[in-house]
A and B are shown apart, each in its own frame.
Chain A
Amino acid sequence: MNAAAEPGATPAIEARGLTRRFGPVVALRPLDLAVASGTTLAVLGPNGAGKSTLLRLLSGLARPSGGTLHFDGVGADRVGRRQRIGLIGHATFLYPALTARENLALAARLWKVADPEERASQLLDEQDLQAAADRPVGGFSRGMAQRVAIARALVHDPEILLLDEPFTGLDPTAADRLAGRLAAARGRRTSLLVSHDLARAASLADAALVLVRGEARALPTGALGSAELLGEAYREAVSALGSEGRA
């Protein structure tokens, strides 16, 4: 499956036969995937389809049961890959006892950013969180914590951004700001966006694939014209993959 990759170009992310099993359960069936540099791939699918598993495999948090992964045509060196990737996960990855500023400075130190305090301050500005910067994250609302989580993932300005339901808990202004950032980074940053929000996916993605019970199918590029078209293509793919799975 070629998702958003131009023929002949070296994809930013390339998976061949990527598989993940948990004992007898197959979370991800052999998946071939190629994502061109600077593009956004929307990963859609019902709950439990294997979308988060795919992101955790790509980020290096989980080891695949089979298959290969290449980034810009080079085999995945785990440390090098982690330097290039930013992940916004289901959970916020934040320490409740630390303040927003301390959480971001910690992330900046882990990613060896030159001036961690300055970078933390800059990200707090971008997320409009300066007023709450020195309060422990444990007291934050879900939306505020999500904004810190987004800032944390961007702390090292990653080349590849993996987003797992990044709009969760965000108010409309913050959601629009994130969407604006993602749109502005098109052409510069490669992204994989897992979302149930078809309107956002249609407006942000260059290609889309649907996962059902670990089985993937690419959607036609034309489906990204509007949320309605994407919804229609999505439902068809889910239905087809569901009936294949039952057959």
Chain B
Amino acid sequence: MNVLLAVLRKDLLIEWRSRDRLVAMLVFAVLVVVVLYFAAPPGQEETARAHVPGLLWVAWVFATVLGLGRSFALELENDALSALALAPADRGWIFLGKALANVILVTTVQALSAVAFALAFGLDLWPVAGRLACLAVLGAIGLCSLGTLFSAMAIRTSNREVMLPLLMLPLMVPVLLGAVRCTQQLVATGELPWSPLQLLLVTDGVFLIISFLGFEYVLDE
């Protein structure tokens, strides 16, 4: 637990000082909102609104991939990753610290870009804000758990920018399926459907366990 907190604190402090990942992810997510706003055919605002839940997750997923790509870049300078790998603890705790820092970053971007979506498409998300926030966090956990593992795997490859989305996106289908279905129904009816929520919860659990256990080997040379 000490190691988790130390890594989390370190990642957030470095991000707070540079803000480079947060700004890049946020600009990307807002750009997606702008593009989609102008892409919506005039006079069909209602149809566009129906697609907002799916579009939200499109923006969030790609912003997450962008942020995760940089997650281990800060560990490469001065080979700081070796110092983490030398820590006398199960390396799964290092994974949890980094994944949690990524979840915090992604949920910040999700919150701010959801406001941009609501304003651009005239949606009133306020009545479902609490449940939407829970869904966003659950989705972020799914994306960031396996994403953090793959980011660590990709960082030592020569073409890491290509490797991360190639490894990550195909396996994110169950997370996206669950999250998008839940968000669609939540925005439309104000209710959370149990079946896709179950899929999201189970996928999060499985991804977390696999990544926690796999991280020990990923940090080996």
Contact = CB atoms under 8 A, between A and B. Distances in A.
Given A79-B88, A95-B80, A112 B2 contact: yes
B14 interface: yes
Interface in B174-221: 220-221
Interface string B74-96: 10011110111111111000000
Contacts of A91: 78-79, 82
Contacts of B86: 59-61, 82, 85, 87, 93
A98 B7 CA distance: 13
A102 interface: yes
A83 B74 contact: no
Nearest to A116: B6
A111 B6 CA distance: 10
A74 interface: no
Nearest to A60: B86
B75 to A, nearest CB: 8
A95 B74 contact: yes
Contacts of B6: 106, 109-110
A87 B78 CA distance: 14
A24 to B, nearest CB: 17
A152 interface: yes
A97 interface: yes
Contact of B89 (A62, A79, A92): A79
A23 interface: no
Contacts of A107: 83
Given A56-B221, A62-B220, A97-B14, A110 B79 contact: no
Interface residues of B, number: 27
Contact of B82 (A80, A89, A111): A89
Interface residues of A, number: 32
A84 to B, nearest CB: 8
Interface string A49-93: 000000010011111000000000000000110110101011111
A95 B88 contact: no
B17 to A, nearest CB: 5
A56 B219 CA distance: 13
Nearest to A105: B6
B221 A62 contact: yes
A79 B88 CA distance: 5
A60 B83 CA distance: 11
Q: Which of B18, B77, B88 has the most CB of A within 10 A?
A: B88
A82 B78 contact: no
B5 interface: yes
B3 interface: yes
Interface of B: 2-3, 5-7, 9-10, 13-14, 17-18, 74, 77-80, 82-90, 220-221
Q: Which 9 residue pairs of A and B lie closest in terms of their CB atoms, listed nearest first?
A: A91-B79, A83-B88, A93-B83, A109-B6, A110-B87, A82-B88, A62-B221, A97-B14, A92-B78
Given A63-B220, A110-B83, A112-B2, 7 more contacts: A61-B86, A82-B86, A87-B82, A89-B79, A97-B74, A102-B10, A110-B2
9 contacts: A61-B82, A61-B86, A63-B220, A80-B88, A109-B2, A110-B3, A110-B7, A111-B88, A112-B88
Interface of A: 56, 59-63, 79-80, 82-83, 85, 87, 89-98, 102, 106-107, 109-112, 145, 152, 156
